[in-house]
Every structure is written in structure tokens, then in C-alpha cells.
Structure 1
Amino acid sequence: MDLSREELFLRIRRDSWQEGLSMRALARKYGVHRRLVREALASPVPRPRKKPVRPSPRLEPFKKTIDEWLLGDLEAPPKQRHTVQRILNRLRQECGAEIAYTTVWDYVSRRRREIAEAAGAAPRAGFVIRHNQPGMDAEVDFGEAWVDLAGERTKCFVFALRLAYSGKAVHRITTSCGQEAFLDGHVHAFRTLGGVPGGQIRYDNLSPAVSRVIHKSRSREEHPRWTEFRQHFGLTPFYCEPGLRGAHEKGGVEGQVGYFRRNYLTPVPRVASLDELNASFAEFERAEEGRRIGMRIRTIGQDFARESVLLMPLPQDSFETGVVFTPRVDRYGMIAVRVCRYSVPARFIGRTVRVVLRSSDLIVFHGRTEIARHPRLTAKGAERVVLDHFLEVLLAKPGAVAGSEALDQARRKGTFTAAHEAFWAAAKKAEGDTEGTKQLVHVLLLHRHLEHRDVIAGIRSALAAGAHAADIVALEARKAAQTDGRSPTVTVTGPAPALPGPEPSEVVSLNARRAGRLPTDQRPLPSLDRWDQLLNLSRKDAP
């Protein structure tokens, strides 16, 4: 009969009390010594067995060395202290010891604690469970993540705002962790949640918010723009202690960033743009609402339903999260913003423009008119050149088209398609490089007023008919739009650009312009013989 000592003691005591068996009878019945019966009758709880001290003759010569290493660890940085594996490796390399890992682990796990206590080291700090009220507190943090963005492995940053009560978290990924991304993440989170937390929002000492940490206090010198932002939304920030000492003060969002990265950004996502990835984040966050945190009874979504109605309302006025710059357009039609260069329409060369740099895009204004918009670049020295911005210049300098950076980027982005290549080749073959390239530029100018798909359809129709004139492409593009029941033109914002060069001295008819570019008419010339017979008839013979 295989019984535990507790069960055996219980049965011995029960038989002695109910059946009145003697000590000898009890020992015989259960097959144990009378000393054990006597112990069971004296106490219902067995005495703990003494663990035998097993000698370790192979480790004995090295115990003093291990103790010295562990004592030195008390003054070493926490991340540079000996692990059991490191101790084992040093014993093998420096002392020639042949010892098993478990032998070293048993000794180190016991001696590390004894040495720390003997040296008077401070005990491990305890933690206090915080009481979170619905609609009040939240936590914010940035985390890193890698994304295959448009075929290139790119380092990105995940902004996370997590409500302390429900655990509802909102995320936004950008290629920057600057102030504009920091502010934009807040605005996105507040709009997603439908309100602003009424209590404290916990931060570490992020540079977009804090300019300087005042020594030995929780006071911070804030960035002026961050102060303006938090006053606009009525935020109450709480700044955690610097370094590892303050990591536990916002442990919820610290773990949230890692959890989100492991579950929704693994494996590395492949997307064409960050807008596509951010759109999928909404689905991820909805899926999280059905999860229970720890041993909670309710789900995140159930707690958030109670919390959402207690959030402060959003302010009616919007807040511009972007940073404003006023660069001058150089002679190449480019502006420089934070070590990156962007193109603007060539007609603004030499002028000062206003730029709003946001977390994911860059918008260029001349006065109140938007003249260009680009996705934000982050790599030092990166350039984004849009072919459409230079068409007026290329019309006057057609020889520069083939080797231009604008054309190369348009090809890589797919805006300059195989249809454009085929039209260009046909036009150059028929009219020469210069005139053929000018026809291509005229076709590219059609994209400003016609849908892209209609222009492509017009190019294909013109090529099928053997034509290589921009006028024919425009006509066929409008016919393609009307066939689909759509308006052939698109809305054009801002004034139409003026073409460079002198005004033409004479008016050229459309027929004359097309004469050399239309395919040869193979039909026979019309015959007027029958009409000539009418000339010989008199009036009285006329019917």
C-alpha cells in the first residue's frame, strides 16, 4: 500500500481512536516501525525530513573561487553579473574544472543569496498594486519594430496608449519617433477611444515632451509645443523616474508594446505603405477586445464599454501636430527638410514655401494653396522627385528626360508604365528623339486633367491605330471615360501652370498639326463622275 506520510499518519490515528488497536498492532497492520506509530500518535503532521548533504568532491576545490566571483558581483552593474553558465565556462577555461552544470547551479543558487545577506545588501524591492478608476489613468510609450516597407526592410516605431482600467490600447506605427509622431499618436488614440482620460497619463522622459529632467525630483522642463498640446486637450502628465527605477511605474504599456509586437508584427509584415499597416491595426485592436487580462472576469471590451462613457470629450478645435518650416525652392525645384529633399512644381523655383512635416507625410503650401504632398522620408540624404513637377521644364529641354532622376523614380514606383514606354518608343521612331519626347511630355501633362486609367486606355487605343500624337491620346482617353459613363476630367486644384517659352507667332490649325502624325489613309479617293453628269442636264430635264 503506497500512501503518503500525511495519509498514513491520518489512518494510524483513526484506527487507534476508533478500533483501539495497540501500537504493535498498528505497526503490524501498516508495515512500519513502532517509532513511526509513536510519532503519528503524537502529532498529525509529520516532521520534515532532513535533506541529506551530498558531498561534491569535484566542486570543493573551486568553492572559494566561486564565492569571490559572487562577492564581486555585488558591486557590478546588474546586467554584467555572473550567470551560472558564465561561472561554469570560467571554471573550465581558467581552472580546468570538469563539473556538471547542475552541480554549479545548486551551489550558486544557495550561495548567491547567503553572500548577499552576509554583505548586508538591500532586499529586493516590493511592489504595490495600484487601484485604477475607469476613465481616469493611461500610459504611453514608444517601441521599435521592423517592417518590409515597399520591399525594403525599414526600422519603424510603434506608439502605444493604454488605458489603465480596461487595458484597451491604441497603436500607430510611423518611421519616426519625433515630436510630430508623438503628438499625432495622441490625436489618433483620442479619436479612436472617443475621448481623453481624465486622470494622469504616465510617461517616461521622452525628448518630444521633456527638454530637461530636474535632478532628484519629479519636476520636468517641458517642451513648449508639448505644453501647448497638453493644455489644448486638458492632459495631466505624470513623469516616471528615469531609467530602470521608473520602468515599473508604467509597466502595463511596457508589456503592451512587446505583446503587440510578438502577436501582430511577427513575422515581419510586408506592406506597400504604413497607411495599409495602420489600417490593419484597427482589426487587431478589435480582436483584442475579446481577451481577458490575467485573472480578470470581464474582457477588455466589456471593461472599455464601462470606461468609454467616463472619458472627457474631445475639444472642438483641431490641433496641428506637424512641424512648420519655410524653405526656399532651389534651382532644381527641390526643398530640403531635415536632411531630406523633396520636389515641388518647377514654377516655384526661387520662391519661399511653407512646409508642414507630419509623422507620415509632408505637405507643401504656397500661400494657402497646397502645391505638393509627399510621404515622409527618414533616411539621411534621401530624395523624392515627382515627374509631374518638372514637365514644363522637360518640354523645353526634351533631351533631359531620358537621364532624369524624376523618370527613374516614376519607373520604380510604377507611375511611368509600359504603355508610356511603348508610346515614347513609337513617337521617337516616327518623329525623332526631340519631337517624339515632346509628344510624350504632352501625354504626361494629360494626367493632370484626366484619370490615369483613361490616359493609359487612350495610349493603347492610339498605338493600336498607329498614331503617336498627344491629341489622339486625349481624344481616346475622353472616349474611354464616356464609355464607362464617367466624367472625363478630374478636379484640378490651384491655378493651371503656365508653359515656359515664347508665345507662338501664328495660329496652327489642328488638322495641320495632326497631318504628319495620323496613319496613312488607305481608302480610295472619292469619285465625282456621277455628279459631273448633272452639269450637262438642262433645267427642264431635271426631275
Structure 2
Amino acid sequence: MKGVDTIARIRREFFTRGRAIKDIVRDLHVSRNTVRKVIRSGATAFTYERDVQPLPKLGPWRDDLDRMLTTNAGRSARERLTLIRIYEALRGLGYEGGYDAVRRYAKTWKRERASVTAQAFVPLIFAPGEAYQFDWSHEIVLIGGTTVTVKVAHVRLCHSRMLFVRAYPRESQEMVFDAHDRAFAFFRGTCQRGIYDNMKTAVETIFVGRERAYNRRFLQMCSHYLVDPVACTPASGWEKGQVENQVGLVRERFFTPRVRVKSYDELNALLLDGAIAYAKAHPHPEERERTVWERFEAERAALVPYAGRFDGFHAVTASVSATCLVRFDNNRYSVMASAIGRPVEVRAYAERIEIRQDGRVVAEHARAFGRDQTVFDPWHYVPVLARKPGALRNGAPFKDWVLPAALDRVRRKLAGSAGGDRQMVEILTAVLGDGLPAVEAACAEALREGVHSADVVLNILARQREPTTPVTILTPESLRLRHEPVADCARYDSLRRAP
């Protein structure tokens, strides 16, 4: 078939210059029928596709080739065979044809399969405050000079397209709760529906259709914020396509090139600033004359009012060791010595750990996300020191213990004296009853007087605890004497004269 350049020359020679067909045939070396076809059809290009492709050698092997192509398409990209390998396998079965026939057939097979499997979608539109979408992504950053894979929570309002992102070390349930609370606090409200995939922290069982058995704590969170959760069909990411697209956008704009920060707090501050800057600078996809931020400001009035922070913790039961330690998430946390011997409830929040026993808080720590770390609170071990004062010098909880200034000066002065550890333990034990501010003040007063012994400090504390001077009692007017008695010493003289 002649190319478009030859067809163009034929048309120009005939219609513009008025040359005869036989002259065009002679000069351009084309057939008379070709020239007539170009002139009569008025087309500027011709294409030809064979309706029926004869495959004399491949025909008997089509079923085997179809099976090979189908099996190969079902493999992962890394394990998928090339067409040369498939051709060699077909030759091993007895096929005597060439590779080109296999290549053309595979191309047709792939095109037909794509037309069968291709899916059409209906564009969605959401009313203000109707729904939001939630998802996770994994990003690589440098935190404190160490390469770390962080888990990023994404929340997107479906109407205004406003986005919220926050990074966490885990994808656990307490992180889900914290991400929702921070997002809703930033939005100053929430939507009527929340669209999720079937993450294990939210969905326990998937039934037929849209029916799900949600996690009990997750339902409590949704009830607190007045949200109706909706789970997508498994492996159907397009049902929450907005937040899926947001993952790619955030990765491209916020994490490329690789981010270098000192802490998670710095990273999350950058993400929040980046989200606000993006929303203020980019137009809304459906209303180009307004930015995403302007649509978000207008949508706020339709949001369900923010209900306040949900007590989003993940609770587990644990035992207390003889060293006053509780193990959780591959790390150990200290508790009060009085908690030994009975189980405790560990409440894990996104950034802290709270340990309770019989409804009483026996420990609270900043959460550690490494492995085999031990987090001490030295005050938990002070009651033990009362029985074992020698542990103050080499006890692990007391290493690098930062005390208030006056208390630390007393400790350093007592460290070089005989019985200094025991005296320091007596002072520390007083903190449990009198409180740290009172003991700190007593230590400061003792140091001003040039002394630092435990007896002096405890004496000062005892004087501080003494009751104040009672107030003078006023005599009621009805009991007041009207005639004050006069002293008469002569009565004593009469007694002295008696025999």
C-alpha cells in the first residue's frame, strides 16, 4: 500500500497541476488503478488489514499456545517468560513453524484479551461533608541519619479534595485512631461516611457483598465521631480512587527527593505545611476557578462537628516481673513496685504507653519503637530502695538520673560520706509522702545553712508539716464577766495565823 507522501503527490499533480493520469503513472511509477483509486476516493491515506490470518503451521498448536500464554499472564512480572522462551517451549512440543508467526499470534491474543478484561467506570460526585477516604502508604525517609520506612496515613475529603497526611512508625490500630483524630481536628469536623479498604485494624471478617464484621474498637471510634464506615470490595482500589491518587501525589511532591529530618515531629510538620501549601496553590479538578483550599473552607460548614479526642488506645494484658518491668511490643517498661504480683492492662497510644492496674495508673511512659529497649522511671523503684539502699549506687534505673538542682547537690555531697547512700534513700523516700517540691525546698534550705544530712532535711520537712499556731479563741459576750474579781491577800494571812 502506498504511503501518504505518494498519495499527496498524486493528489497535487492531478487536482492542482491538472496533469493526466498516464503522466502521473509514468513519473511516479505507480499503477493506473492506484492513481484512479486515490482520485476517486478522496482519501489521504489507505490501510489494509487481513481479515483472515492463515496459520498453516501454527494452526494445530493454537490450543497449546493459548494455554502457555494464559499461564504466563497469570505469573508475577518477575517470573513471566519472554515470547522467545514460549516459542522454544512450543518447539519442544513439536511445532515446526517460525517465531514470527508466534509473535503475531501473541500480539493478537493480547489485544483481544485486553478488550475483554478492560473495565469501564462511572465518575463519582460527592456532596459536601458526605464522605472521606482513608488509606496507608509506605515511604522511605532519613530520620536522624538512618534510612527508615515510615507508614503514612492519608485522609481525603471527597468533595473538596482536601488532603491530610501524617507519618507513623507502625500501621497498628492506635495509629489509625491517632491519624483520624488529628485529621478531624485539622478539618474541624468529619464526614457522614468513611471509605476504607479491608485493613485488619478495622475489618475482622469479610462476608458476601458489602457486609463486614468490623473490629469492636474501630466501631467505637466511628461511633464517637458519628461516622458510618464503608469497606471496599477486596482488590478494588478504584472504589477509593481519590485517596489512591493522593498516595502517588504525596510521594512525588513530598517525598521526592528523599526527605532528611531529625524526628517524626519534624517530618509531620513538613507534611502538614506541604498539604496546606498544595491546597492553596492548586485549582479544584471540577471547579477550576477555585482552589482546593477555597472549596475546603466552603465545605467546613457541612461537616459533622468535631467531637473531641477519642481515647484511642490498643489494650493488652501483661504480667509484672520481679524487677518491676512489663513487656510490650518487644520493649520493657517500668511500673510502680506495688504492682508486682498481679496482672496489669497496657494501653498503647500512638506516642505513649499507659499501664493500669485495678483502674489505677501505675506507669506512664513515652512509647519506644525499637527492639529490646528498657524504659525506666526511677521513682518507681524508690520504695524498693528503702529496703535495699545499696542499689542506689549501681541500680540500672538510677543511671544518669536527672534530679532537681538542690536534690542533686545533696546527692553529690552525700556520695562521698559514710552511709551517704542510706541517707539519700531516706530523702528520696520522703518524696513519696511530702512531694517533690517540698523535699526540693527542704534540700535548698539545708544547703543554705551549710548542711546536707538526711536528719536536717527530714527535720525541716517535719517543721513544715507542723500545724500552725491556733487562732485566739474569742469569748462570747454572754460569757464575759461583768464585775472583775479583786485579789484579797488578807485571806492568806488569816490562814497563816490559824493554829
The answer, yes or no, to whether TM exceeds 0.5 is: yes
- The 3-state SS of whatever aligns with 2:304 is coil
Q: 2:118 aligns with which of 110, 114, 125?
A: 125
- The 3-state SS of whatever aligns with 2:106 is helix
User: Structure 1 CA distance, aligned partners of 2:88 and 2:268?
Assistant: 52
Q: Which amino acid aligns with 1:165?
A: H
Contact 1:24 1:34 (8 Å CA) reproduced: no
Q: 2:67 aligns with which of 63, 71, 75?
A: 71
CA offset digits 1:53-97 (Å, max 9, x no partner):
xxxxxxxx999999956632414573437888744578799999x
- Describe how 1:253-268 pairs up with structure 2 within 5 A: 253-266=243-256
State yes or no: 1:283 paired with 2:283: no
- Describe how 1:13-412 pairs up with structure 2 within 5 A: 14-15=15-16, 21-23=19-21, 35=32, 37-48=35-46, 68=64, 71-75=67-71, 78-80=74-76, 86-88=82-84, 110-115=104-109, 123-135=116-128, 136-146=130-140, 148=142, 154-198=148-192, 200-214=193-207, 216-242=208-234, 244=235, 246-266=236-256, 269=259, 271-289=261-279, 290-291=281-282, 297=288, 299-315=291-307, 318-324=309-315, 329-337=320-328, 340-346=331-337, 349=340, 355-364=346-355, 372-378=363-369, 382-391=373-382, 393-394=384-385, 397=388, 399-401=390-392, 403-407=394-398
Contact 2:414 2:424 (8 Å CA) reproduced: yes
- The 3-state SS of whatever aligns with 1:74 is helix
Q: 1:407 to 1:254 in 2, by over 3 A?
A: farther
CA offset digits 1:419-455 (Å, max 9, x no partner):
x999988975x447x6379769979999x958xxxx9
Contact 2:324 2:339 (8 Å CA) reproduced: yes
Deviation at 1:282, TM superposition (A): 0.9
Q: Quick check: 371-380 or 3-12, which moved more?
A: 3-12
User: Structure 2 CA distance, aligned partners of 1:6 and 1:41?
Assistant: 9
State the identity %.
21
Q: Which amino acid aligns with 1:157?
A: K
User: Structure 2 CA distance, aligned partners of 1:91 and 1:140?
Assistant: 46
Q: Aligned pairs, how many? A: 432
Contact 2:385 2:392 (8 Å CA) reproduced: yes
User: Structure 2 CA distance, aligned partners of 1:31 and 1:441?
Assistant: 114
Deviation at 1:342, TM superposition (A): 1.2
CA offset digits 1:260-285 (Å, max 9, x no partner):
24542456555554333323321121
Deviation at 1:321, TM superposition (A): 1.4
- The 3-state SS of whatever aligns with 1:241 is coil
- The 3-state SS of whatever aligns with 1:250 is helix
Deviation at 1:361, TM superposition (A): 1.6
- Unmatched segments (≥5 aa) in structure 1: 53-60, 97-102, 456-469, 477-502, 511-543
User: Structure 2 CA distance, aligned partners of 1:32 and 1:444?
Assistant: 112
Q: Which amino acid aligns with 1:357?
A: A
Q: 1:161 to 1:416 in 2, by over 3 A?
A: same
User: Structure 1 CA distance, aligned partners of 2:229 and 2:82?
Assistant: 43
Q: Which amino acid aligns with 1:274?
A: Y
Contact 1:340 1:383 (8 Å CA) reproduced: yes
Q: 1:84 to 1:328 in 2, by over 3 A?
A: closer
Deviation at 1:225, TM superposition (A): 2.6
Deviation at 1:193, TM superposition (A): 1.7
Q: 1:361 to 1:14 in 2, by over 3 A?
A: farther
User: Structure 2 CA distance, aligned partners of 1:425 and 1:507?
Assistant: 18
User: Structure 1 CA distance, aligned partners of 2:80 and 2:300?
Assistant: 49
Contact 1:264 1:284 (8 Å CA) reproduced: yes
Normalized against structure 2, the TM-score is what?
A: 0.66
Structure whose alpha-carbon radius of gyration is higher: 2
Contact 1:84 1:108 (8 Å CA) reproduced: no
Residue 420 of structure 2 aligns with which residue? 435
Contact 1:12 1:37 (8 Å CA) reproduced: no
User: Structure 2 CA distance, aligned partners of 1:354 and 1:288?
Assistant: 43
- The 3-state SS of whatever aligns with 1:332 is coil
- The 3-state SS of whatever aligns with 1:48 is coil
User: Structure 2 CA distance, aligned partners of 1:74 and 1:203?
Assistant: 32
Q: 1:81 to 1:307 in 2, by over 3 A?
A: same
User: Structure 2 CA distance, aligned partners of 1:3 and 1:121?
Assistant: 30
Deviation at 1:212, TM superposition (A): 0.9
Q: 1:51 to 1:227 in 2, by over 3 A?
A: closer
Contact 1:150 1:271 (8 Å CA) reproduced: yes
CA offset digits 1:92-127 (Å, max 9, x no partner):
99999xxxxxx98x8776433434688x89812312
Contact 1:66 1:87 (8 Å CA) reproduced: no
User: Structure 1 CA distance, aligned partners of 2:60 and 2:141?
Assistant: 50
Residue 481 of structure 1 aligns with which residue? none
Q: 1:225 to 1:90 in 2, by over 3 A?
A: same
User: Structure 1 CA distance, aligned partners of 2:429 and 2:42?
Assistant: 96
Contact 1:174 1:360 (8 Å CA) reproduced: no
- The 3-state SS of whatever aligns with 2:198 is coil
Deviation at 1:208, TM superposition (A): 2.0
Q: Which amino acid aligns with 2:16?
A: D
Q: 1:154 to 1:37 in 2, by over 3 A?
A: closer
Q: 1:295 to 1:191 in 2, by over 3 A?
A: closer
Q: 1:71 to 1:405 in 2, by over 3 A?
A: farther
Q: Which amino acid aligns with 2:267?
A: L
Deviation at 1:252, TM superposition (A): 2.6
Contact 1:361 1:374 (8 Å CA) reproduced: yes
User: Structure 2 CA distance, aligned partners of 1:509 and 1:196?
Assistant: 56
CA offset digits 1:391-443 (Å, max 9, x no partner):
554576454355544356x58xxx699xx999988975x447x6379769979
- Unmatched segments (≥5 aa) in structure 2: 51-56, 93-97, 462-499
Deviation at 1:374, TM superposition (A): 1.9
Q: 1:349 to 1:265 in 2, by over 3 A?
A: farther
User: Structure 1 CA distance, aligned partners of 2:246 and 2:164?
Assistant: 10
- Describe how 1:488-527 pairs up with structure 2 within 5 A: none
User: Structure 1 CA distance, aligned partners of 2:25 and 2:182?
Assistant: 77
Q: 1:288 to 1:371 in 2, by over 3 A?
A: farther
Normalized against structure 1, the TM-score is what?
A: 0.62
Contact 1:427 1:437 (8 Å CA) reproduced: no
Q: Quick check: 87-96 or 398-407, which moved more?
A: 87-96
User: Structure 2 CA distance, aligned partners of 1:442 and 1:69?
Assistant: 87
